[in-house]
Structure 1
Amino acid sequence: MRIAVIPARGGSKRIPRKNIRSFCGKPIIAYSIEAAQASGLFDDVVVSTDDDEIAEAARQLGATAPFVRPAEISDDHTGTNAVVKHAIGWFIERGHDVTHACCIYATAPLIQATFLRDGYAALAASNAAFVFSVTSYAFPIQRALRMTSAGRVDPFHPEHRMTRSQDLEPAYHDAGQFYWGTAAAFLEDVPVFSERSIGIVLPRHLVQDIDTIEDWEQAEYMFRAINRR
């Protein structure tokens, strides 16, 4: 059995009701649910929430919300691994053989089903514990600068002052969309950011972290531009 787990607690502070706030005409969580459904990979698309309104919205969008997420894994400090681990355990306790799970963030409106399929294919074809979305930095990280207390600039890596950009190693960061893993890896708390993981590279125009209202507006601009093409 393969499950998608979409964490969506009700207590978002920086953007109130963030997980079901309207994004370009529909609750933002709808895009994650729809991508999971369109991928054709999952036996169940589960929204893990502590909030009745979010649970009802999830059901109306075609996902399931079969349990109330416990309070001890519903605060600001709970990592997503604990949420996925709880969901896997819930299914196992009811006699289901969960082999793989994919954590999909509720606020990932640019997510594409094709990359979910690429992620699962990479995981199934390897001995990796996890496969997750990454994207490249737009500028070489070796040219990063710090600001001193006097307002002057100071290179983090002065040895690369004169290195040509094309000679610098590309760098990537977590794209914050999806995290495929074997059920065993989630249950055993294997670190996601390690040599046991594979990165699926997304184009930068499909990646936008959403933590502030400014981020939200930027993501809507990107979404509209992509869908006008």
Structure 2
Amino acid sequence: MKIAVIPARGGSKRIPRKNIRPFCGKPIIAYSIEAAQKSGLFDEIIVSTEDEEIAEVARQFGATAPFVRPKEIADDFTGTNAVVKHAVGWFAERGTDITHACCIYATAPLIQVRFIREGYERLIGSDAAFAFSITHYAFPIQRAVRLTPEGRVDSLYPEHRMTRSQDLEPAFHDAGQFYWGTARAFLDDVPVFSPRSIGVVLPRVLVQDIDTLEDWEQAEFMFRAVGGNSAAIS
């Protein structure tokens, strides 16, 4: 059995009620649920939350909320791996064997079905523990600078001051959309950011972290620019 686990805490501080805040016409969590549904990969799509209003919104869009997330994994410091581990363990305790799980963030309206499928196919076609979304940095990180205490600029990588950008190794970062893993990897607390993971590269135009209201506005602009819901989950 394969499950999607969408973590959706109720206590967001910087953007209150972030996970169910309206985004281009519907609660933002709806886009993650719909992408999981359209992928055709999951036997069940679960929203892990301690908040009854979020659970009800999730059910309205076709997900389940079969348990109340325990308080000890519903604070500001809990990582998503712990949330997925709890969900996998919850099913195991009831006699249901989970083979693979995919953590999908509730605030990922630009997520596309084709990349969810690619992540799964690449995971099962390998001996990796995880496959998750990444994207290129927009600028070579080897050209990064820092500010000294006096406000002066200094190179973080002085050995690359004169290196041509086309000769620098590309760098990537977590795209914050989905994290496929074997059930065993989640249960065993295998680190996601390690050589045991496969990176699924997304175009930067489909990646926007949403932590502030400015981020939110930027994400809505990008969402409309790529054609809205029909493009984002096709």
- TM-score for both structures, normalised by structure 1: 0.99
Q: Which residue of 1 aligns with 2:226?
A: 226
Q: Which amino acid aligns with 2:202?
A: L
Q: Which amino acid aligns with 1:104?
A: I
Q: Which residue of 2 aligns with 1:51?
A: 51
Q: Which residue of 1 aligns with 2:162?
A: 162
Distance 2:158 2:94 in 1: 57
TM-align CA RMSD: 0.8
Where do 1:3-152 residues align within 5 Å? 3-152=3-152
Give the secondary-structure state (helix, strand or coil) at the position aligned to 1:109. coil
Where do 1:189-208 residues align within 5 Å? 189-208=189-208
Give the secondary-structure state (helix, strand or coil) at the position aligned to 2:34. helix
Q: Which amino acid aligns with 2:130?
A: F
Distance 2:43 2:131 in 1: 19
Instruction: Give, in angstroms, the shift of residue 40 of structure 1.
Output: 0.4
Q: Which amino acid aligns with 1:132?
A: F
Give the secondary-structure state (helix, strand or coil) at the position aligned to 2:226. helix
Q: Which amino acid aligns with 1:73?
A: I
Give the secondary-structure state (helix, strand or coil) at the position aligned to 1:227. coil
Distance 2:16 2:28 in 1: 13
Give the secondary-structure state (helix, strand or coil) at the position aligned to 2:135. strand
Give the secondary-structure state (helix, strand or coil) at the position aligned to 2:4. strand
Structure 1, residues 131-165: CA drift from partner, whole Å, max 9, x if none?
A: 00000001000000001122211000111111000
Instruction: Give, in angstroms, the shift of residue 197 of structure 1.
Output: 0.3
Unaligned runs of 5+ in 2: none
Distance 2:161 2:86 in 1: 48
Q: Which amino acid aligns with 2:38?
A: A
| Count of residues in correspondence between the two structures | 229
Distance 1:120 1:43 in 2: 14
The percent identity for this pair of structures is 79
Instruction: Give, in angstroms, the shift of residue 95 of structure 1.
Output: 1.2
Structure 1, residues 181-203: CA drift from partner, whole Å, max 9, x if none?
A: 00000000000000000000000
Q: Which residue of 2 aligns with 1:173?
A: 173
Q: Which amino acid aligns with 1:166?
A: Q
Q: Which amino acid aligns with 1:10?
A: G
Which consecutive segments of 4 or more residues in structure 1 shift more than 2 A?
Answer: none
Instruction: Give, in angstroms, the shift of residue 169 of structure 1.
Output: 0.2
Instruction: Give, in angstroms, the shift of residue 221 of structure 1.
Output: 0.5
Q: Which residue of 2 aligns with 1:213?
A: 213
Distance 2:74 2:68 in 1: 10
Unaligned runs of 5+ in 1: none
Q: Which amino acid aligns with 2:149?
A: S
Give the secondary-structure state (helix, strand or coil) at the position aligned to 2:163. coil
Give the secondary-structure state (helix, strand or coil) at the position aligned to 1:224. helix
Distance 1:136 1:29 in 2: 25
Q: Which amino acid aligns with 2:205?
A: H
Structure 1, residues 102-144: CA drift from partner, whole Å, max 9, x if none?
A: 0000000000011000000000000000000000001000000
- TM-score for both structures, normalised by structure 2: 0.97
Distance 1:88 1:197 in 2: 19
Q: Which amino acid aligns with 1:88?
A: V
Structure 1, residues 65-122: CA drift from partner, whole Å, max 9, x if none?
A: 0000001110101111110000001111111110000000000000001100000000
